[in-house]
């Protein structure tokens, strides 16, 4: 069978770094991105960090002929930053907001305000139902001392859950986005092993791009080389993943990643590199080479590792909540003490003792601020604790189920690895 | 075929009203509930408002023999209050937190702190995969002037999306919970029409309970009759819904609802009545009587109604955000004015003018409090706006898709109503 138009799907993914007035050359870069997309005419375009809806509308207008169907996912204070453009009609969409996503008081990191999420759109490609996901996980600001690691592990856990539970009716699944995780990071292994998604970079026949498929590279003029740390040439944190089903097999024929510059332009599209995968769909060929038992065993190891990470996060959050509570109680005690001091001269009417009003009110203001801040923090840490506990519970349940499957292993559907670990 | 043990599934649902130290006779009622459940031995028990994990653990301990498998869903500041007990092994769980759920400053209503959500557990019942959902939607405090209506409509929308997208691989679907909506309320119609779920009360062959299937009744001693308003005898807001698949047909043989009292006990289990449905599973009989075109048309009407409701919510929120911003700017202006006034005597050193320190600091404290509160409110309303806009976008997309289907209607799979409106 010769490949027809609908048998080849070209997928594009880019973190646009679109913080208006803060990201360098933001407007010009959107013009460049719009022009490139309208020339390249990818079938599916998955964009992240399109923080401003105005920029989305600019692209929507620019791509109205080449990509008539689009969706912008709204979430959080600023937005999720996720956008999809495609030539296929979008039948349905669904958004899942990650339960944990940094801290509101870490405003300079800004992740909390972004409302990180995973968006799904359902398309029909040549009569086949495609579930396409776009996501952006919490950034890693310091690899050595990464206080957001439990958050990112929980996000990866929720991402695999969301994909797994919402893709049962799909003929093919495509996931694109900035996972903010290196290929061998725990969250990435969790995601790939649980969903059986394949990595375009690892599966492709032809590859064009920097060595090791890096997508955050030292050659990009917007990158601060210090931030790359020991990874001198760059890191791979953006991905296009895919999988077929019992009906469809997918193969990645080609993959390309930009190299930090764009011909005839003074700067690249973004601080991240752009990814393009050419996927070829064909009717299913049963694959007999799956080793489900090994698969279950490695899944179990990943599970235990993830639970440990989440437990570390739990202890940290408990400690922080305790500190907030203690500070709050101290603030309250000080406020009450002040009230008592203030009450004394008023009770002893006519004593006319000198009363240090200025320092009194300043101190009261301070106590009040402490009380309010610690109360808000206490509520926030409680929510975080519940989310971490919830994820840990779910992981424990899955480990139990995996152990059960390992004991008496019935090799149910050898062609679908998804059916192996979980129903 | 005679019905075997796995062909009959008894489902129980109860809103436990379990606010420790606030709900009347909370501890004694949990003891009663535990005893009843261990005697009745329902196959699946879906509980709501189990706010304290201690109470969940008490029930878990009490039901360890009759219901060895259980799950408690954690979310929000207090928790989601959702718990599942079952005799079937739980293979997997997933929680979806509703994007909108009241306001944190409406602390006396408390919904925001509860972190309302829908929980899913996956069970295997006699070789069939069952997706079981438990949920609790935002309460309706005033039917005439219901400021939470857009929130509840968005929750119902997200609930139907979650069920629809996560149940593609299920042989049967069971949903139980306190929807806080009357049978003909918009959200309820949205949910039932989109998911094609059937209502136990409407489908049952045998029914035992109060007239009209009411679950919040005037005869219940915990109910304040005034809250029922014009519905003198009670309202029906708790439901057990179900549906089969292309493999399984389900029929509701019997349904019972408690009548506000428990024999040999001085008070009932809760302020809500308890629901029990006896569902019979059998192999699929294709149903040729589906009128998909009519179905699409009524779906479209519901859609438009829901969009209108969400738009009303959008306008309200925009107005409230504007008010918060304006008040905040006023607070800031007053604070700056105060600073300017304070700077004058300090600049004119030695002038020794009398300075009203007390009122000055009190006013500064007030300005500071206004500024902080309005900032928080602004952020909160912005998040609410994004959620409402997101839901409205998704609804618009679905309406477009429905219109397209209505124009050239291909009757694809007559046996599965779910396939009618959306892929």
Give tens-digit pLDDT for B15-28.
Answer: 999 988 888 999 99
Question: Is any Cβ of chain A less than 8 angstroms from the Cβ of B22?
Answer: no
Average pLDDT over residues A339-347: 73
pLDDT given at position B292: 55
Residue from the list B77, B89, B361 with its beta carbon closest to the beta carbon of A382: B77
pLDDT given at position A10: 97
pLDDT-based confidence at A411, cuts 50/70/90? very low
Helix axes A357-407, B357-407, angle to 10 degrees: 30
| B124–A92 C-beta distance less than 8 A | no
| Cβ atoms within 10 Å of B387's Cβ, excluding its own | 27
Chain B residues close to A127, C-beta within 8 Å: none
Backbone dihedral angles phi then psi of residue B213, each to the nearest 5 degrees:
65, 20
Question: To probe the interface with B, which of A70, A83, A91, A162 has the most B CB atoms within 10 Å?
Answer: A91
Chain B residue closest in CA terms to A369: B369
| A129–B401 C-beta distance less than 8 A | no
Distance CA B216, CA B271 (A): 7
pLDDT given at position B4: 55
Chain B residues close to A369, C-beta within 8 Å: 368
pLDDT digits (tens, 9 = 90+) for A395-406: 777 777 777 777
The continuous run of DSSP H or E covering A346 comes out as helix A292-347
pLDDT given at position A82: 94
pLDDT given at position B417: 35
pLDDT given at position A383: 80
| Cβ atoms within 10 Å of A83's Cβ, excluding its own | 25
Residue from the list B124, B169, B383 with its beta carbon closest to the beta carbon of A168: B169
Minimal C-alpha gap between A150 and chain B (Å):
17
pLDDT given at position A421: 38
Q: Print the SS3 string covering A55-91.
A: HHHHHHHHCCCCCCEEEEECCCCCCCCEEEEECCCEE
Residues in B 37-76 with any Cβ partner in A closer than 8 A: 71-76
A15 Cβ contact list (under 8 Å, min separation 6): A47, A48, A49, A136, A177, A178, A238, A270, A271, A272
Angle at B12 between CA B10 and CA B18, to 5 degrees: 160
Which is higher by pLDDT, A78 or B292?
A78
Share of chain A above pLDDT 70, in %: 87
Q: Is the pLDDT confidence value at A171 over 60? A: yes
Please state the separation of Cα B218 from the chain's center in Å. 23
Question: To probe the interface with A, which of B72, B73, B94 has the most A CB atoms within 10 Å?
Answer: B94
Range scoring the smallest mean pLDDT among A59-63, A262-266, B2-6, B70-74: B2-6
Distance CA B389, CA A115 (A): 14
Chain A residues close to B379, C-beta within 8 Å: 77, 104
Chain B residues close to A379, C-beta within 8 Å: 77, 104
pLDDT-based confidence at A348, cuts 50/70/90? low
Average pLDDT over residues B315-325: 87
Average pLDDT along chain A: 84
Minimal C-alpha gap between B166 and chain A (Å):
5
| B386–A115 C-beta distance less than 8 A | yes
Q: Is the pLDDT confidence value at A256 over 90? A: yes
The continuous run of DSSP H or E covering B82 comes out as strand B82-86
Q: Is the pLDDT confidence value at B289 over 70? A: no
**Burial of residue B46 (number of CB atoms within 10 Å: 0-12, 13-18, 19+):** buried
pLDDT given at position A412: 40
Question: To probe the interface with A, which of B166, B346, B363, B396 has the most A CB atoms within 10 Å?
Answer: B166
Distance CA B259, CA B268 (A): 9
Residue from the list B93, B99, B357 with its beta carbon closest to the beta carbon of A394: B93
pLDDT digits (tens, 9 = 90+) for B190-211: 898 889 999 999 999 999 999 9
How many residues does this entry show for chain B?
Answer: 423
Q: Is the pLDDT confidence value at B291 over 70? A: no
Average pLDDT over residues B202-224: 93
Backbone dihedral angles phi then psi of residue B229, each to the nearest 5 degrees:
60, -130
Question: Is any Cβ of chain B less than 8 angstroms from the Cβ of A337?
Answer: no
Please report the ipTM that was assigned to this predicted complex.
0.80
pLDDT-based confidence at A136, cuts 50/70/90? very high
Residues of B that are catalytic:
272
Minimal C-alpha gap between B270 and chain A (Å):
26
pLDDT-based confidence at B240, cuts 50/70/90? very high
Distance CA A175, CA A197 (A): 8
pLDDT-based confidence at A413, cuts 50/70/90? very low
Distance CA A174, CA A248 (A): 13
| A364–B368 C-beta distance less than 8 A | no
Distance CA A77, CA A276 (A): 30
| B165–A166 C-beta distance less than 8 A | yes
Q: Give the number of beta-carbon pairs within 8 Å between A and B.
A: 135
Range scoring the smallest mean pLDDT among A13-17, B165-169, B229-233: B229-233
Average pLDDT over residues A134-150: 82
pLDDT given at position A4: 56
Residue from the list B76, B120, B390 with its beta carbon closest to the beta carbon of A75: B390
Average pLDDT over residues A99-104: 78
Chain B residues close to A93, C-beta within 8 Å: 393-394, 397
Range scoring the smallest mean pLDDT among B97-111, B177-191, B251-265, B338-352: B338-352
| Nearest residue to A191 (alpha-carbon basis) of A234, A167, A148, A155 | A155
pLDDT-based confidence at A159, cuts 50/70/90? very high
Minimal C-alpha gap between B368 and chain A (Å):
9
Residues in A 369-408 with any Cβ partner in B closer than 8 A: 369, 372, 379, 382-383, 386-387, 389-390, 393-394, 397-398, 401, 404
pLDDT given at position A349: 53
Per annotation, catalytic residue among A151, A272, A401, A415 = A272
Highest-confidence segment of A33-42, A374-383, B283-292, B382-391: A33-42
Question: Is any Cβ of chain A less than 8 angstroms from the Cβ of B120?
Answer: yes
Chain A residues close to B77, C-beta within 8 Å: 379, 382-383, 386
Chain B residue closest in CA terms to A94: B161
Chain A residues close to B161, C-beta within 8 Å: 94
Contact A17, A49 (CB under 8 A): yes
Minimal C-alpha gap between B361 and chain A (Å):
6
Chain B residues close to A77, C-beta within 8 Å: 379, 382-383, 386
| B91–A401 C-beta distance less than 8 A | yes
Minimal C-alpha gap between B138 and chain A (Å):
18
pLDDT given at position A288: 43
pLDDT-based confidence at B273, cuts 50/70/90? very high
pLDDT digits (tens, 9 = 90+) for A191-202: 988 899 999 999
Average pLDDT along chain B: 84
Q: Is the pLDDT confidence value at A114 over 90? A: no
pLDDT given at position B286: 54
pLDDT digits (tens, 9 = 90+) for B141-178: 777 777 778 888 888 989 999 999 999 989 999 999 99
Chain A residues close to B71, C-beta within 8 Å: 393, 397
């Amino acid at each position: 069978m010769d490949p027809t138009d609908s048998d080849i799907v070209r997928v594009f993914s880019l973190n646009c770094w679109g913080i208006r007035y803060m990201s360098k050359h933001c407007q010009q870069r959107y013009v460049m991105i719009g022009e490139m997309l309208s020339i390249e005419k990818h079938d599916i375009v998955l964009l992240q960090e399109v923080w401003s809806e105005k920029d989305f509308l600019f692209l929507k207008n620019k791509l109205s002929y080449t990509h008539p169907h689009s969706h912008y996912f709204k979430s959080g204070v600023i937005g999720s930053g996720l956008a999809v453009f495609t030539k296929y009609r979008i039948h349905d969409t669904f958004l899942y907001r990650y339960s944990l996503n940094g801290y509101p008081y870490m405003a300079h990191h800004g992740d909390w305000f972004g409302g990180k999420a995973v968006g799904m759109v359902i398309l029909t490609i040549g009569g086949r139902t495609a579930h396409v996901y776009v996501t952006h996980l919490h950034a890693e600001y310091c690899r050595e001392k990464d206080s957001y690691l439990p958050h990112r592990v929980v996000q990866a856990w929720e991402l695999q859950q969301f994909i797994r539970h919402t893709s049962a009716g799909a003929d093919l699944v495509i996931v694109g986005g900035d996972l903010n995780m290196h290929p061998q990071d725990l969250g990435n292994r969790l995601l790939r092993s649980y969903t059986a998604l394949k990595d375009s970079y690892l599966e492709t026949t032809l590859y064009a791009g920097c060595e090791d498929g890096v997508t955050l590279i030292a050659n990009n003029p917007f990158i601060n080389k210090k931030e790359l740390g020991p990874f001198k040439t760059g890191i791979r944190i953006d991905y296009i993943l895919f999988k077929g089903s019992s009906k469809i097999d997918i193969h990645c024929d080609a993959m390309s990643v930009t190299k930090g510059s764009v011909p005839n332009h003074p700067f690249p599209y973004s601080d991240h590199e752009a990814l393009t995968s050419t996927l070829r769909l064909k009717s299913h060929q049963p694959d007999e080479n799956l080793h489900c038992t090994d698969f279950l065993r490695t899944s179990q190891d990943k599970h235990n590792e993830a639970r440990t990470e989440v437990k570390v996060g739990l202890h940290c959050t408990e400690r922080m909540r305790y500190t907030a509570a203690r500070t709050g109680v101290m603030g309250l005690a000080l406020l009450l003490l002040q009230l008592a001091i203030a009450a004394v001269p008023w009770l002893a009417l006519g004593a006319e003792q000198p009363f240090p009003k200025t320092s009194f009110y300043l101190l009261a203001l301070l106590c009040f601020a402490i009380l309010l801040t610690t109360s808000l923090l206490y509520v926030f840490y409680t929510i975080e604790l519940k989310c971490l506990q919830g994820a840990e519970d779910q992981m424990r349940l899955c480990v139990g189920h995996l152990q059960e499957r390992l004991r008496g292993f019935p090799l149910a559907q050898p062609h679908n690895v998804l059916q192996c670990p979980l129903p």
